[in-house]
Structure 1
Amino acid sequence: MEGMRRPLTGEPLAVDLINTRWRHHGADLDLLETLDGLGQWLEESGQDLGPVREPVRAALTQARDALCGAVEGRPGAEEAINAVLARGLAVRYLDKGRTMERVLFTDDDWQPAWRAVVSYLDLTALAADGIRRCGEPDCVLYFFDPSGRRRWCSMSGCGNRAKGRRFRTRHVPAASDR
């Protein structure tokens, strides 16, 4: 899976973590299934923490499940989010008149997971319903849109497929009409 090209990169960190699972030609793929995939995601998200380790992968998959649950409104999601947040503590302080922040972790393996969940909190503060699932029925990707107008993860992919389907429905005669 090393170097696997995944769709819809560049979303905010929380959404990017959720999108480490996607569907390609009917097959479900998971970038975090392997340590190589974990290394790729850490590098792509700017969180290169040194050696890629299984405990980091386990923490990120737990955080991803918590984020998915929160976005989908599943029971117990808030507790799952809070369990990840409990792994770190942000300490604010002054340094030469500037407000600074340092995060203390119960275990450094939780840093990327904690940062992704904090990103979710920041996004929901901007737009409570801003993280949404793509409107294409076969797509499992999410995106952040604070305006609430976007319907698809990408216009060039899922948006064009949906528009093409609507066009065919309106303009291609049914078999019984021929």
Structure 2
Amino acid sequence: MATEIIFPLLSGNTSMDLVNTEVVSHGTRHDLLTSKEHVLAWFNTIKKEGNISRDQFNMDIELWANDALPLLRELRSFLRDGYEKSADGKELTPDWNTHLELLIKRAPFMYQLKNDQLIPIPIGEPDDALISIIALDALKILSSNQLSKIHRCANPECVLLFIDTHGRRKWCSMKICGNRSKVTRHQQLKIK
């Protein structure tokens, strides 16, 4: 029986959730998107969280998840580079948002009103549609001036990124790294 993959959803942003599909465990970096099954699991996870809607896709994901895998990994690498630069206080070049805009052009949007919410519906192949939704999310982060609020986890072994909206957060998550740090600090105090 395959073990369930738990994806760290730290921000409510699909693009950040994609970047955080690379994690470190026991000192080794792990890619959580290496197969069609992983794409299905990630898609279903972000759908369950409400970051995407089934209504945004014209085909069952089982039919196109394999095609989406290399596109997702390529976009993840691109976004990670930009988000890490932002976390390090560096400016992104205009090419960054131009690239995202070009990805959206491959599956541009129309809009539908569903349950009193305006939902962007990408027009194009489903794998391009997913990429378009993620690129739109990244551009929303850029346009809302949240790039400057992107931070790296205070745990030097962690590769997860998060958006700090209050200016006080240090950890990717208390569950993932914050509590570990507290336990380690407590253990060290007991030894002294």
Which TM-score applies when normalising by structure 2?
0.70
Q: How many residues align?
A: 169
- From 179, 182, 189, the counterpart of 1:160: 179
- Counterpart of 2:147 in 1: which secondary structure? coil
Cα distance change on mapping 1:19 and 1:101 into 2, 3 Å: closer
Equivalent residue, structure 2, for 1:82: 98
Amino acid at match of 1:153: C
Describe the SS at the equivalent of 1:147.
coil
Which ranges of 4 or more aligned residues in structure 1 deviate by more than 6 Å? Answer: 74-77
Q: Deviation of residue 140 (structure 1)?
A: 1.2
What's 1:115 paired with? 133
Root mean square deviation, CA, Å? 3.3
- Provide the C-alpha distance between the structure 2 equivalents of 1:143 and 1:16, rounded to a whole number of angstroms: 9
Change (3 A) 1:60 1:111: same
SS at match of 1:32: coil
Contact 2:103–2:135, Cα closer than 8 Å, also in 1 = no
C-alpha change, 1:81 and 1:69, in structure 2 (3 Å) is farther
Measure, in 2, the Cα distance between the counterparts of 1:52 and 1:163. Answer: 43
2:146 paired residue number: 127
Aligned runs of 1:1-178 on 2, under 5 Å? 4-9=4-9, 11=11, 12-46=13-47, 49-50=59-60, 51-73=63-85, 79=95, 81-88=97-104, 89-90=108-109, 102-105=121-124, 107-124=125-142, 125-167=144-186, 172-173=191-192
User: Which residues of structure 2 form unaligned runs of 5+?
Assistant: none
Gaps of 5+ in 1: 174-178
Shift of 1:59: 1.3
Q: Is the 8 A contact 1:15 1:142 kept in 2?
A: yes
Partners of 1:66 and 1:77 within 8 A in 2: no
State the alpha-carbon separation in 1 of the partners of residues 3 and 94 from structure 2.
33
Q: What secondary structure, in the 3-state scheme, does the structure 2 residue paired with 1:136 have?
A: coil
Deviation per residue, 1:104-158 (Å, 9 max, x gap): 34x4321112211211222331523222221101111122222221110111331
Deviations 1:9-62 (A, max 9, x none): 253211111111112223322121111101111111115551243321111111
Question: For 1:102 and 1:111, how far apart are their aligned partners in 2?
Answer: 8
How many Å separate the matches in 2 of 1:29 and 1:63? 17
Does the 8 Å CA contact 2:151/2:162 hold for their aligned counterparts?
Answer: yes
Identity %: 23
**Length-normalised TM-score, structure 1:** 0.75
Cα distance between partner residues in 2 of 1:31 and 1:17: 10
